Amino acid sequence: MTQPTIVRTVAQMREHVRAWKAAGQRVALVPTMGALHEGHLTLIRLAQENADRVIASVFVNPKQFAPHEDFDAYPRGEAVDAEKLASVGCDLMFAPNASEMYAPGFSTLITVSGVSEPLEGAARPQFFGGVATVVAKLFIQSQADVAVFGEKDYQQLQVVKRMARDLDIPIEIIGAPTARAEDGLALSSRNAYLSAEERAAAVALPDAMKAAAQAVAAGSRVDEAEAIAVEALKAAGFRQVDYVEVREASDLSRLGPGPIGEAEGRILVAAWLGGTRLIDNMAVGQA
């Protein structure tokens, strides 16, 4: 099993990329915050299908966490991450420290209006500014031809697509389907925070989304379907529901409260089980 080369500076990463491109190779980037799981590995495999070389970045980005959030507690484990990347043949792991990413006096913030404002943007006002800024930097630093993001963070995927388009960054963005545990829970680094009891209850999240999606497909009003999911989450022990909303799939604009009609929808959910905030989403439409 070949270990991926680990580099910590932009200059080192660019040396590799320059050599690959000189050899006519297409380069993919998979941005992550580490604590890698099978969901991340599906992104690497999809990147390999779309490029000759794959870089995984591992960086817990302080700028996307508000001061009260879990930056310090966020799971970290570089050696295990490197082994997992090796197991799927990832070529390069870019693991910069914070000072490599944010030089003293760093003062730029990328704001993507519209698609970043509702849902996660409303619940975590600092989040998408931090994500758009670090992802733009990673795109420019790596000069990758293609980048892969998970649909598990569906709004993030739409924000990144809009940012790259608006800033004319020459990169193709590919969305990867959500990898799930056998019971349907989306794989997520933050699942590590769940106690055994909470983990058992967490399956209510995908189940509630499925019940709402089925109601919409059967012709129920969108607002009634959302209410079904909220009730199911509360009944399963979720202590707070930040949002359950059925939105238009590509720009996340609001859909009317009535039946979904011809629209292509997406149900998006964020809810707290004890101290853990879980998010998930799935496609919703008329049957």
Ligand X SMILES: Nc1ncnc2c1ncn2[C@@H]1O[C@H](COP(=O)(O)OP(=O)(O)OP(=O)(O)O)[C@@H](O)[C@H]1O
Contact residues: ligand PAF, CB under 6 A: 31-33, 61, 64, 131, 134-135, 153, 156
The interface mask with ligand X, positions 159-178, x = CB under 6 A, is -----------------x-x
Site residue total, ligand BAL (CB under 6 A): 3
Q: Which residue, among 89, 91, 81, has the nearest Cα to 19 in the 3D structure?
A: 91
**65 touches 71 (CB < 8 A):** yes
* Residue 56 makes contact with ligand X by CB under 6 A: no
**Residue that the structure tokens 């829970």 belong to:** 185
* Residue 152 makes contact with ligand X by CB under 6 A: yes
Residue 146 or 215 having the CB closest to ligand X: 146
Residue 209 is assigned to a ligand binding site:
no
Residue 192 is assigned to a ligand binding site:
no
Residue 48 or 64 having the CB closest to ligand BAL: 64
What CA–CA distances, in Å, run from 163 to 49, 116, 156?
A: 24, 10, 10
Q: Which residue, among 92, 76, 74, has the nearest Cα to 3 in the 3D structure?
A: 92
**Residue that the structure tokens 């932009």 belong to:** 10
The interface mask with ligand X, positions 29-48, x = CB under 6 A, is ---xx-----xx-xx-----
CB 151 to ligand X: min, Å:
6
Catalytic site includes residue 68? no
The residues with which 252 forms a beta bridge, in sequence order, are: none
Residue 152 is assigned to a ligand binding site:
yes
Q: Which residue, among 186, 120, 192, has the nearest Cα to 152 in the 3D structure?
A: 186
The interface mask with ligand BAL, positions 151-180, x = CB under 6 A, is --x---------------------------
Catalytic residue among 16, 40, 63, 137: 40
Residue 175: contacted member of ligand X, ligand BAL, ligand PAF, none (CB under 5 to 8 Å, by partner type): none
236-240: which pairs have CB atoms within 8 A and are 24 or more residues apart?
Answer: 236/201, 236/204, 236/208, 237/198, 237/201, 237/204, 237/273, 238/201, 238/204, 238/205, 238/271, 238/272, 238/273, 239/272, 239/273, 239/274, 240/271, 240/272
* Residue 153 makes contact with ligand X by CB under 6 A: yes
Catalytic residues: 40
Binding-site ranges for ligand BAL (CB under 6 A):
33, 64, 153
